[in-house]
């Protein structure tokens, strides 16, 4: 069977601050710039989740997109939307909530819920021009 990739877009707003406790304010500002603002700031994150696999003979689907939509809602939107990632999301208590690290957390959460026969890939936009991708490698 041909392998096809299905995609689902989602969105969440969240606040964060990039910093290291073990660095001085000057070094944090030098490395992280505006993203190190001690009072936090928000981003409008756009997410694209892609699932690749063979088309199921019975359904004609790679994956039922309504199931993927529900998974993203439960695992990502409800966990992150309108949250302060540093303060309210356990995964970022000790991990800087960069787009890179957020994409890995999203991947890991979804990976456990998606059939192993299917490949998973995450694309996360922190701004319209800055985005990261992660496929578990
Ligand atoms: Ni930022």
Q: The domain that contains 107 carries what CATH number?
A: 3.30.479.10
How many angstroms separate the alpha carbon of residue 30 from the centre of ligand 1? 14
pLDDT of residue 137: 86
If 0-12 CB within 10 Å is exposed, 13-18 middle and 19+ buried, where does residue 25 land?
exposed
Task: Give the chain's domain count.
Answer: 1
Closest by CA to 91, choosing from 1, 11, 16, is: 16
Average pLDDT of the segment spanning 124-135: 98
Range of the domain at 84: 3-134
41 catalytic residue (yes or no) = no
pTM, whole model, 2 decimals?
A: 0.95
Model confidence pLDDT, tens digit, residues 32-91: 998 999 999 999 999 999 999 999 999 999 999 999 999 999 999 999 999 999 999 999
Average pLDDT of the segment spanning 14-22: 95
Q: Which of 11, 41, 82, 100 is catalytic?
A: 82
Q: Which of 16, 35, 43, 75 is catalytic?
A: 35
Token output for 50: 């892609």
């Amino acid at each position: 069977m041909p392998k096809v990739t299905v995609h689902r877009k989602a969105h969440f707003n969240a606040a964060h601050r990039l910093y290291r406790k073990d660095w001085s304010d000057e070094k944090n500002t030098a490395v992280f710039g505006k993203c190190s603002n001690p009072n936090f700031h928000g981003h409008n994150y756009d997410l694209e989740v892609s699932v690749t696999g063979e088309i199921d003979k019975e359904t004609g689907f790679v994956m039922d997109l309504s199931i993927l939509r529900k998974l993203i809602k439960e695992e990502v939107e409800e966990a992150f939307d309108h949250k302060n990632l540093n303060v309210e999301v356990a995964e970022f208590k000790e991990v800087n909530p960069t787009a890179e690290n957020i994409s890995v957390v999203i991947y890991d959460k979804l990976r456990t819920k998606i059939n192993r026969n299917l490949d998973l890939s995450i694309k996360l936009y922190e701004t319209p021009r800055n985005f990261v991708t992660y496929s578990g490698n």
